[in-house]
Structure 1
Amino acid sequence: MLIAAAVFTALAALVHVYIFVLESIRWRQPATWKIFGIPSQADADTTAPLAYNQGFYNLFLAVGALVGLVLLFTEAREAGYALALLSTGSMLAAAAVLLSTGRSRLRSAAVQGTFPLLAVVLLLLSLTV
């Protein structure tokens, strides 16, 4: 169970690193701002500081999940669980907040939240074994 939890924690982290790249590095590129429904280059330029900041939130969540993942397989296993659950739980909560902004965000929320959901469930189940 712990191995499956680790796999989904790692996948959740990778998705959030990708989101970081989109939001903080590639935001002003037309292919990127179209993914986020930004209608024009001017709008992408206006929202770039917000996206840059948001991208780093995603990166920090990914780093937390990865550090937790490493700690899960050391003597600091309890700290690993805590960090992995905090990070993936925050990712899941962020996906729920995204979905609360409208049904048009369902696909994005699913991309952002599916791996964290599976990680949280499997991490909690592996605690009981």
Structure 2
Amino acid sequence: MILVIACVIVCLAAVLHVYIFWMESFGWRRPVVWRRFNVADQEQADSTAELAYNQGFYNLFLAVGAIIGVVLLTVSSPGRPPHDAGYALVFLSTGSMLAASLVLLTLGRRFAAAALTQGLAPLVGLGLTVIAATTA
């Protein structure tokens, strides 16, 4: 049961990172998006759009890794334990998401809410996945 809850939370973290991917890679030049990232004005958004585009794909790849890990954890046959590669992908993906949120905190208190939003689901998902892995 813990593994099921962990997988649901990991999927929520992945969905959030797909949304971040969209914002950074495709919505970046929209004022409603760049303001969320504390970008000062349209000129700055335009000049950083290529960097944001690239960064967005990092978020997408983390989400894809998390989803593949969840799939590998949930498609095991009856009586057979979840696949170790699934654990590895979930650990790597959620651990990277969590680490990125901690790096965001190093930029200052004004990024605390964003870091919490970005890091809470990966933290909980990672923790529950570790518990599930050690009790399996």
- Does the alignment reach a TM-score above 0.5? yes
Q: Which amino acid aligns with 2:117?
A: V
Alignment of 1:82-121 (within 5 A): 82-121=88-127
Equivalent in the alignment of 1:74: 75
Cα offset, 1:47, TM superposition = 0.6
Q: Which amino acid aligns with 1:32?
A: V
Aligned-partner Cα distance in 1 for 2:134–2:97: 23
Equivalent in the alignment of 1:61: 62
Cα offset, 1:39, TM superposition = 1.3
Aligned-partner Cα distance in 2 for 1:46–1:69: 37
Aligned-partner Cα distance in 2 for 1:97–1:39: 21
Q: Between Structure 1 and Structure 2, whose CA radius of gyration is higher?
A: 2
Equivalent in the alignment of 1:49: 50
Q: Please identify runs of 4+ aligned residues in structure 1 that moved more than 3 A.
A: none
Deviations 1:82-102 (Å, cap 9, x if unpaired)?
A: 001100000000000001111
Gaps of 5+ in 1: none
SS of 2:75's equivalent? coil
Equivalent in the alignment of 1:22: 23
Aligned-partner Cα distance in 1 for 2:68–2:133: 18
Q: How many correspondences in the alignment?
A: 129
Q: Which amino acid aligns with 2:8?
A: V
Deviations 1:41-91 (Å, cap 9, x if unpaired)?
A: 100000101100100000000000000000002346111000011000000
Q: Identity across aligned pairs (percent)?
A: 53
RMSD of aligned alpha carbons: 0.9
